[in-house]
Structure formats: C-alpha cells, structure tokens
Amino acid sequence: HYDMHNDIKEVFFTEQQIQKRVAELGDALTQEFQSVADKGETIVLVSVLRGAAIFMADLARYMNVPLEMDYMAISSYGSGTKSSGVVRILKDLSSEIKGKHVIIAEDILDSGLTLTYLLKNLASREPASLSVVPLLRKKVKEQAPIDCLHVGFECPDEFIVGYGLDYAEKYRNLPYIGVLKPEVYE
C-alpha cells in the first residue's frame, strides 16, 4: 500500500529540529510581546492558509501570552511548482485588526510576492504593529525585501514539501520538511 514517506528523497529539517526551532520562536515572541499583553493590548496571530496552518498551530502553543488566532487565504502558486505571479485573496480575516498587534506566521518566504502583498494589505488596516515570522526563508536571487522579526530556518532554493508545504495539495501532513524524489513529479 501507499506510503507517503517513500516519496521523499531527502529530509532537510526533521520533526525534532522543527519542534525545537518553533519552541524557540514561541519563547522569543512571548518575551517580545509580554509588555504588550500586560498593557491589555490585543495580539493576533495571523496564519496564511493553507501552508502556514500547521506552523501557526504549533507556534501558538509555544506562545505564553493571550492571543487571538485568525486566518487569511492567499494563493500565488496554484498546483505547479513555480509562482504564477498572481496573488489572490481567497479568504479574508474574520475580525478587524485596527489597533491590534498582528504577527503573521507564514510557512515560507520564497519570491516574497505573497508577503509583500499581505503586508501592504494589512498595514492599510492600521494595526498597532505588524510583524512577520516565516518558518523558512528560501535563499533565492530575486526575493522582495521583507523585514522579518524572526526566521525559523534559511533553506536552499529547492522545491520542498511537508509541515504545511504542498506539492499539488499533497504532503502538507508530513511532520518533517524534505524534497520529493524526481519521479513523483512525473
């Protein structure tokens, strides 16, 4: 029978490495947003569906401050492995963010198209602060400059899957991050 793990050529980040790093990010954010929380101001963790859902779910549980969780769906890739260059809002946030401290948890920063669009869009809603925390930042030549509060891992310019990242909507549920065997694309 089918075994998802057989489709993986190489693991880049193991489940243990990811969990350790996400815990570190959660600890750092807890410290950074402690005073904001103490003042009674609202913190909103925003996840960019669908890729970032898993990262945000883990990150939220490593953050020891009161926070809201909200979701936005944006797509730039479709089903291929290359960005189409088109960013679309598929689902907007459920609540207003005006005056709130927004932390965007994104799975990966690649061309930067998605985050450039998102930052501009969310900034116009006048949040008290707006921070970006991608789990992964790809080392690519042409990347829009994005000011990140933290980055989980730098990663090579290869098509990776797992821990939220998909290939044609599959492999998001792998607990680790890796590259597919070439025959899987065929």
Catalog residues that contact ligand PRP under the rule CB under 6 A. Answer: 48, 50-51, 75-77, 83, 106-114, 166
Closer Cβ to Mn ion, 31 or 173, answer by number: 173
Q: Cα dist. 184→71, 167, 171 in Å? A: 31, 10, 12
**Tokens 């797992």 found at:** 162
CA distance 13 to 160: 10
Tokens of 121: 């869009």
107 catalytically annotated: no
CB-closest chain residue to ligand PRP: 51
Cα–Cα distance between 137 and 107 in angstroms, integer? 9
- Report angle CA 156, 11, 48 to the nearest 5 degrees: 65
Q: Which two tokens stand for residue 178?
A: 């890796």
Query: Per CB under 5 A, which of residues 37..56 are in contact with Mn ion?
Result: 51
For 84-133, where are the alpha helices, taking DSSP H only? 113-123
Q: Using CB under 5 A, which residues numbered 75 to 104 contact Mg ion? A: 77
- Considering the complex, state which of residue 64 and residue 111 has its C-beta at the smaller distance from ligand PRP: 111
Nearer to ligand PRP, 76 or 121 (CB): 76
Minimum distance, C-beta of residue 76 to Mn ion, in the bound complex (Å) = 8
> Taking CB within 5 to 8 Å according to partner kind, which of Mn ion, Mg ion, ligand PRP, none is near residue 42?
none
Catalytic residue among 110, 147, 157, 166: 110
Q: Which is nearer to ligand PRP, 31 or 94 (CB)?
A: 94
Q: How far is the CB of 71 from Mn ion (least distance, A)?
A: 11
Question: Exposed, middle or buried, 176 (CB in 10 Å: 0-12/13-18/19+)?
Answer: middle
> How far is 45 from 69, CA to CA, in rounded Å?
5
User: Where is 71: in which H helix or E strand?
Assistant: strand 68-75
- Shortest distance (Å) from residue 170 CB to Mn ion: 15
Chain positions contacting Mn ion, by CB under 5 A: 51
Which residues are annotated as catalytic? 110
Chain positions contacting Mg ion, by CB under 5 A: 77, 166
